[in-house]
Chain A
Amino acid sequence: METLISFVVNGGVLSLADQNIVRSIVKMKEDQDKILALDNFKLLSAAGEAGDCAQFTEYISKNLKLYSLRNGYDLSTTAAANFIRSELAASIRSHPYSVNLILAGYDKTDGPSVFYLDYMGSLQKLNFGCHGYAAYFLLGLLDRHHQPNLSLEDGVKLMKMCVTELQTRFLVNGKYKLKFVSKDGITEIPFTL
């Protein structure tokens, strides 16, 4: 039922996530932040078992913090993505975490990038990525309208287009949170249609 979308725009990445915590047929919460800032230039969106998401994303963020304290610089987005992948791949063979992730980041050398990860330990570098049922509704739309050199305003417009589509056809709805990572760091963009 959860929705995670991230895509590359000119000079940064936009990440959107729904804010619902659902258990069975009950909506427990509708103001959850599912996009964690791992450091000043990385956003990790997580969907799946709520407890696993909290546990695993905290584990990842503390490990990245430890790396930066030890070495005096942060891990690159690519390196972080591969680290997360290897942790997921190791955990599914002993203590599986049921989490699906999208890592969005900005690097001085590599620019903006989006990585799609799932609970089985697959990793894909993409220009746009979706998790959850949203993917069924939105991949076609993003195929048609997304370009990596979209301006930030056009990117936000495309996010709104995605959410409009979900509100038209998808059974479940609620509030959404939108964040942007660029060379200036992470900002939250107020999101209303």
Chain B
Amino acid sequence: MARRYDQRTTIFSPEGRVYQVEYAMTAIKHAGATVGILAKDGIVLAAEKKTTAKLLDNSSNISEKMFKIDEHVVCAVAGITSDANILINYARLSSQRYFYTYQEPIPVEQLVSQICDTKQGYTQYGGLRPFGVSFLYAGWDKHYGFQLYQSDPSGNFQGWYATSIGGENSQVAQSVLRSNYKSDISLKEALQLALKVLTKTMDRSAINSDKLEFSYFTKQGDQIVYHILNPQELEKFIKETDLDQEAQDN
């Protein structure tokens, strides 16, 4: 009877755990790592691509796990992408609903909180499994400026300066971030730090534009800019950063 308490999503085990939620979190570990870093002038989201195949046609979507929710919020996914699509659809709808009511963009934390309420619902109301997704949300609003949030399948969320989700080596990623993060880090330095984190958590030979996704979120004047690095830009950036690191080592 060892599996008595993991059949239903809604039941606590005698030790006070909800197994289905923990299994969902384990599912996320199998996904590639995703790193988010909050800089003083923007936010970096970087990820490891797991599904690379020679015959896979990527021409229609440049990004596998970065999604734009609205002009002022983007998110990166770790976990089951099809589960994520449902939540992203909901997030986009929520964002437009808020705009429809108030004619103002939704504050980032409210959006994150709404998605997390949906996630939480699936850990309490029975018969279904929880969403197997963690998100990193990068956004800007007039109340708190640039913000980085992380959410998990239980429906918890927190704001972070730098964090990572997914990946087998999340401990390594967290410790690299902890020891290298400065509170006045610039967007450029944040991009380099994100690459550094991924080089420590991934196979070094896999550091190339096929296996990585980099994007940044910043403001140019009043305009919010979200950019996903294309393969050429990414390749150039990796080359330049590697050179920089060698220079530092010498």
Interface residue ranges, A against B (CB under 8 Å):
71, 73, 75-76, 78-79, 82-83, 86, 109
Contact = CB atoms under 8 A, between A and B. Distances in A.
A78 B103 contact: yes
B31 to A, nearest CB: 32
B110 A71 contact: yes
A63 to B, nearest CB: 11
Contacts of B143: 73
Contacts of A83: 101-102
A109 B101 CA distance: 20
Q: How large is the interface on B (under 10, 10 to 19, 20 to 34, 35 or more residues)?
A: 10 to 19
21 contacts: A71-B107, A71-B109, A71-B110, A73-B143, A75-B102, A76-B104, A78-B102, A78-B103, A78-B104, A79-B102, A79-B103, A79-B104, A82-B101, A82-B102, A82-B103, A82-B104, A83-B101, A83-B102, A86-B100, A86-B101, A109-B142
A35 to B, nearest CB: 23
A76 B98 CA distance: 13
Interface in B107-129: 107, 109-110
A82 B104 CA distance: 9
Contacts of A76: 104
Nearest to B107: A71
A76 B103 CA distance: 11
B83 to A, nearest CB: 27
Nearest to A76: B104
Contacts of A75: 102
Contacts of B102: 75, 78-79, 82-83
Interface in B3-39: none
